[in-house]
Structure 1
Amino acid sequence: MSFLRLTDVTKFYGATRAVSAMNLTVEKGEFVSLLGPSGCGKTTTLQMIAGFEAVSSGRIELAGKDITHAKANTRGLGIVFQTYALFPHMTVADNVSFGLEMRKMPKSERAERVKQALALVHLEAHATRYPRELSGGQRQRVALARALVIEPPVLLLDEPLSNLDAKLREEMQFELRQIQRKVGTTTVMVTHDQSEAMSISDRVVVMEGGCATQIDHPHRVYEHPSTRFISTFVGKANLLNGRVTASGARSCHVAVGALAVEVDDTAYMPGDAVLMSVRPEKLQLVEAGRGRLDGQVLERFFLGSQWLYRLGTPAGDLMVLSPNDGRDALDEGHAAGIDWPAHCTRLLPADEAVVA
């Protein structure tokens, strides 16, 4: 039996449906991220799990118990908000201890639990400081310690890293994952940051328009997106209109303009209109005439460890990510060939494609 289960959970605000028939199971100790753009329903879903928003229809179960209509303060869940919500007049230790005090835990036991929680987030030396005396990353860790000290069955994270600068955010992603693995707390996180969700989650729930469009392991979400939206929201993708010309037992052939491509996909029949998706980093720049097709560099962008090129080709404009490996970058106007492994192409459903 799954530890946390959402069955057909739906939320209406008046006539507007914010979340539509969400079905999700989370195993004990699993780290699951709800990923999507603003307004997709991910935060509303988290708030329904927490008990801050009422469920319009459907059912939420925790460890086999129906908590759909239980009050938030009776669910015992740990929550870290985007703003951290620390008490400014309390020290770090007092902030962490607050939840234990509300549970009327004896003072001696509280002190030991607070000490352990602060050690977990490496803030033992800051116990007597106030939130205003801490950096953003330290305040985030205090909020995490406060949520974990009550030993919640589920930890809910509402974009906990969004207020940090880019470098600190990256560092905290891995620290958060290390802490979660060490403690083993079942965790559900809301984020709009694709790299954040992909790097630290066991599974990712991609949401669009209130619906969960794909629930899968991060690698599969990236390598096998189920919709056009996912292919472009989770990373970058080149999307080319095509039509299936032949299909076999293990692959099919797709015509993209004058280009013929074999794709490891057997879900389509000859004549089907499709979108062929290829990630920019899967494309390789070679000498003109040596690849699948030729193109001309229209723009280039330096990204530090990589160069991003936009090339014009007979099949349409293509983005190519090349490593900054010490070789000279291609100038705008340079002619180049473009190649890629056959297994790196993906086909998207016919109703996602528009072919003239």
Structure 2
Amino acid sequence: MAFVQLEGLGKRYGEIDAVVATHLSVEKGEFVSLLGPSGCGKTTTLQMIAGFVEVTSGRIVLDGRDITHAKPASRGLGVVFQSYALFPHMTVKDNVAFGLRMRKVANSELQQRVDRVLKLVRLNQHAERYPRELSGGQRQRVALARALVIEPPVLLLDEPLSNLDANLREEMQFEIRRIQREVGITTLMVTHDQSEALSISDRVVVMQAGRITQIDAPYTLYEHPRTEFISGFVGKANLLPGERDSTGVVQVCNRGDGELTLSLRPEKIDLREKGQGRLQGQIVSRFFLGSQWLYGVSTTLGELCVVRRNDGSAPMNEGTPVGLDWDAALLRVLSVDEVPA
């Protein structure tokens, strides 16, 4: 049996289904991200697991124990909120110790556990500071330490990096993963950031309109999206008309009236000289992304997105006619979205 199981979990508000019959199994020590756009039900799912939102249908099972209707405090889960929710009048050390004091942990053990977790999150030198004296990343780590110090069976992260700037957010992604691996704690994280979910998760759960649409390892999810929604939401994708030839091999239909919808990632397309490749086009836009150039190429199949690695050579100019080529094995057949947008 999985360590955390959601069995037909659902939440209904009047006539609106916020979460519909969700089934999910999470193994002990696994890092799983719930990914999706605003309003897809990911935060509601996390809040039901935490006990902050009442369950309408289904069950939540933790290590073989049904906690569906248990009070939040009795579940013993660690939660890091989007706002961090630190006590401004308490030092870092006292913020981290708060949960242990509420559990009446002996002072000697309390001090040992607080010291240990502050070292884990690399804040032992800031134990006597107040939240206002810390950076955003440091406050985030205080919230993480406070959740971990009670030694919960599961750690729940609700958009923990959304308040940080881009550079710090990327740094903290890997810091969270380092800490999670070192502790070995089962973790569920809610995020709308695709790169965040792909970079640090063991598995990613994509949600749309209250339903789970795909569960896979990050690489599999990116390389083999099931639907048009997932293809476009998890990274960039070119949607192309497709057909199968007489041998059953999938190929792009240059007439534009294919019976299939195919996905082709921008980095899978090669830019060739005019007259070469499978399709002809003209560069209509270009954007410099540091390590990459992002080109918009006008073709008879519409404008396609092409990514080319910045190798130090001069970029291609707008207005340049080009050929486009790709490996047909990299085309992915998409199913029609079954969930309403």
Could you say which residue in structure 2 is the equivalent of 1:62? Answer: 62
Query: Which amino acid letter does the alignment assign opposite residue 302 of structure 1?
Result: F
Residue 285 (str. 1) matches residue 285 (str. 2) = no
Counterpart of 2:305 in 1: which secondary structure? Answer: strand
Contact 1:241–1:273 at 8 Å: present in 2 too? yes
The count of aligned residue pairs is 338
The match for 1:336 among 311, 322, 325 is: 322
Contact 2:242–2:250 at 8 Å: present in 1 too? no
Query: Which amino acid letter does the alignment assign opposite residue 294 of structure 1?
Result: Q
Query: Which amino acid letter does the alignment assign opposite residue 191 of structure 2?
Result: T
For residues 36 and 246 of structure 1, the distance between their equivalents in structure 2, rounded to whole angstroms, comes to 38
For residues 41 and 193 of structure 2, the distance between their equivalents in structure 1, rounded to whole angstroms, comes to 15
Structure 2 CA distance for partners of 1:351 and 1:67, relative to 1, 3 Å: closer
Q: 1:301 Cα shift?
A: 1.1
Normalised by the length of structure 2, the TM-score is: 0.96
Could you say which residue in structure 2 is the equivalent of 1:266? Answer: none
For residues 154 and 310 of structure 1, the distance between their equivalents in structure 2, rounded to whole angstroms, comes to 44
Could you say which residue in structure 2 is the equivalent of 1:163? Answer: 163
Q: 1:87 Cα shift?
A: 0.4
Query: Which amino acid letter does the alignment assign opposite residue 293 of structure 2?
Result: W
**Which runs of structure 2 are paired with 1:104-143 in the superposition (5 Å)?**
104-143=104-143
Query: Which amino acid letter does the alignment assign opposite residue 153 of structure 1?
Result: P
The match for 2:332 among 346, 352, 356 is: 346
Could you say which residue in structure 1 is the equivalent of 2:308? Answer: 322
Contact 1:256–1:315 at 8 Å: present in 2 too? no
Q: 1:314 Cα shift?
A: 2.1
Contact 1:21–1:211 at 8 Å: present in 2 too? yes
Residue deviations 1:190-228 (CA, integer Å, cap 9, x gap)? 000000000000000000000000011011110000110
Query: Which amino acid letter does the alignment assign opposite residue 298 of structure 1?
Result: V
**Which runs of structure 2 are paired with 1:1-356 in the superposition (5 Å)?**
1-248=1-248, 252-258=249-255, 273-349=259-335
For residues 182 and 308 of structure 2, the distance between their equivalents in structure 1, rounded to whole angstroms, comes to 37
Q: 1:255 Cα shift?
A: 4.9
Residue deviations 1:15-41 (CA, integer Å, cap 9, x gap)? 110000100000000000000000000
Q: 1:350 Cα shift?
A: 5.4
Counterpart of 1:74 in 2: which secondary structure? Answer: helix
Contact 1:9–1:22 at 8 Å: present in 2 too? yes
Counterpart of 1:195 in 2: which secondary structure? Answer: helix
Q: 1:295 Cα shift?
A: 0.9
Structure 2 CA distance for partners of 1:198 and 1:10, relative to 1, 3 Å: same
Q: 1:244 Cα shift?
A: 3.2
For residues 340 and 241 of structure 1, the distance between their equivalents in structure 2, rounded to whole angstroms, comes to 15
Counterpart of 2:96 in 1: which secondary structure? Answer: helix
For residues 341 and 72 of structure 1, the distance between their equivalents in structure 2, rounded to whole angstroms, comes to 52
Q: 1:253 Cα shift?
A: 3.5
Normalised by the length of structure 1, the TM-score is: 0.92
Contact 2:240–2:252 at 8 Å: present in 1 too? no
For residues 188 and 150 of structure 1, the distance between their equivalents in structure 2, rounded to whole angstroms, comes to 17
For residues 302 and 39 of structure 2, the distance between their equivalents in structure 1, rounded to whole angstroms, comes to 32
Structure 2 CA distance for partners of 1:348 and 1:245, relative to 1, 3 Å: same
For residues 40 and 351 of structure 1, the distance between their equivalents in structure 2, rounded to whole angstroms, comes to 14
Counterpart of 2:140 in 1: which secondary structure? Answer: helix
Q: In structure 1, list runs of 5 or more residues that go unmatched.
A: 260-270
Cα root mean square deviation, aligned: 1.4
Contact 1:42–1:210 at 8 Å: present in 2 too? yes
Structure 2 CA distance for partners of 1:350 and 1:178, relative to 1, 3 Å: closer
Q: 1:247 Cα shift?
A: 4.3
Residue deviations 1:264-283 (CA, integer Å, cap 9, x gap)? xxxxxxx9821111000111
**Deviation larger for 271-280 or 31-40:** 271-280
Residue deviations 1:214-273 (CA, integer Å, cap 9, x gap)? 01101111000011000000000000123334343xxx24451348xxxxxxxxxxx982
Q: 1:351 Cα shift?
A: 6.8
Counterpart of 1:119 in 2: which secondary structure? Answer: helix
For residues 289 and 73 of structure 1, the distance between their equivalents in structure 2, rounded to whole angstroms, comes to 67
For residues 259 and 255 of structure 2, the distance between their equivalents in structure 1, rounded to whole angstroms, comes to 15
Contact 1:273–1:350 at 8 Å: present in 2 too? no
Counterpart of 1:53 in 2: which secondary structure? Answer: coil
